[in-house]
Amino acid sequence: MSLIVYPPAADWTWMIQRPQQLMRQLARQGHRVYFCNLTQTRKQAEEIEPGLTIVHDHDNWLQTQWPKLREAYDGASVVWINAPHLTQKAVSYRADNLVYDCADDFAQWLPYEQMAINAASTILCSSQRLQSRLKQRYPGKTIHLVPNGYDEGMLLHQESGIWPKPADLPASGRPLIGFVGAWAPWLDEPLLYAAAKAIRDADWVFIGSEYERRFTLAGAGFPHVHFLGHKPHHQLPAYISRLDVCLIPFRINDVTLAADPVKAYEYLAAGKPVIATPMPECQRMVPYIDIAHNQQQFKDLIKARLSDPGCCEARIRFALANTWRHRAKKIMEVIPYLAAPRSSNNSLEE
């Protein structure tokens, strides 16, 4: 099995998404994984479960501990990055292999992409649109599609009564319409404004951090709209399990067209009706997800699902067939060197 390091790009506990989920699952497959926090503190590396260690003091660890780990380990050493601008830093680890896992299509990353593609031993991506773009731009390169998935540890597929009701959820007793995720520029605020204005016999809840924009829907004229802010990952099931309709209200642009929303899998695992804008990866989840192509459809679908939620069991089955555990197994299939003995002549160089 391999020695895998994820360089500083995010903190382990901040908005747990694809990087944290895959690193956890690879550790559970038997690899030795070091996830390096972006925020550096003078703390010793912390093993949070067998095979998975959080590095708090990365710069010191890189100089004093990583070389010893790399030399002593029998398996291949691997640097795993999601952002192409980290390629130069990744090469400095002098690992045997580099995995570039492309999960976003940010324009500001494109100038660095060629460097990441050239340096990578393996290239992964999270959506068919990303795979198509990368294949077209880099002919001859093998691009492996590994979508996002559902974290079974959230237990959303079990009975919702296992979590107490969060105190900050509305107490009106009306249906709950909700979105869980960052309040970010890629959300379609006019769409949400129109729908919240039209549907006032339910409470609207938004759970997540403000990211590069302020939340402006709540306030005068919208007493039924509630912004609850960021919640730790382990608290999210208590909120999702109580929603009656779940939303993925993204604008349609280059970033969202390439996105595979993690929350889609989590909503479905709870058996919830999901209304999404027409992103390709969400459209591939029909009939488990309902797609709204305009404001009127968005409002109509929400009303329809408040009246008739549909088959929750089918949604749960879909989520359980698309877990992060399944994704890790797919990665093991497409990256044979993860389980191979270390090669003495395969290290990355500056």
Write the CA distances from 75 to 26, 36, 53, 336, integer angstroms: 14, 20, 17, 12
Q: Which residues contact 123 (CB under 8 A, 6 or more apart)?
A: 99, 100, 102, 117, 134, 141, 142, 143, 144
Q: Are 179 and 246 in contact (CB under 8 A)?
A: yes
Strand partners, 219: 222
The beta strand positions in the chain, using DSSP E, are 3-6, 32-36, 46-49, 52-55, 77-81, 97-102, 122-125, 143-145, 176-180, 203-207, 225-229, 245-248, 274-276, 290-291
Spatial separation of the C-alpha atoms in residues 276 and 292, rounded to whole Å: 6
Q: What is the pLDDT of residue 314?
A: 97
pTM beyond 0.95? no
Question: Which tens digit of pLDDT belongs to each residue from 282-320?
Answer: 999 999 999 999 999 999 999 999 999 999 999 999 999
* CB atoms inside a 10 Å sphere around CB 3: 22
CA 127 to chain centre: 12
Spatial separation of the C-alpha atoms in residues 7 and 61, rounded to whole Å: 11
- The full set of domains in the chain, from first to last, is 3-149+324-339 (3.40.50.2000), 152-320 (3.40.50.2000)
Would the pLDDT of 179 be above 70?
A: yes
Question: Which tens digit of pLDDT belongs to each residue from 48-85?
Answer: 999 999 999 999 999 999 999 999 998 999 999 999 99
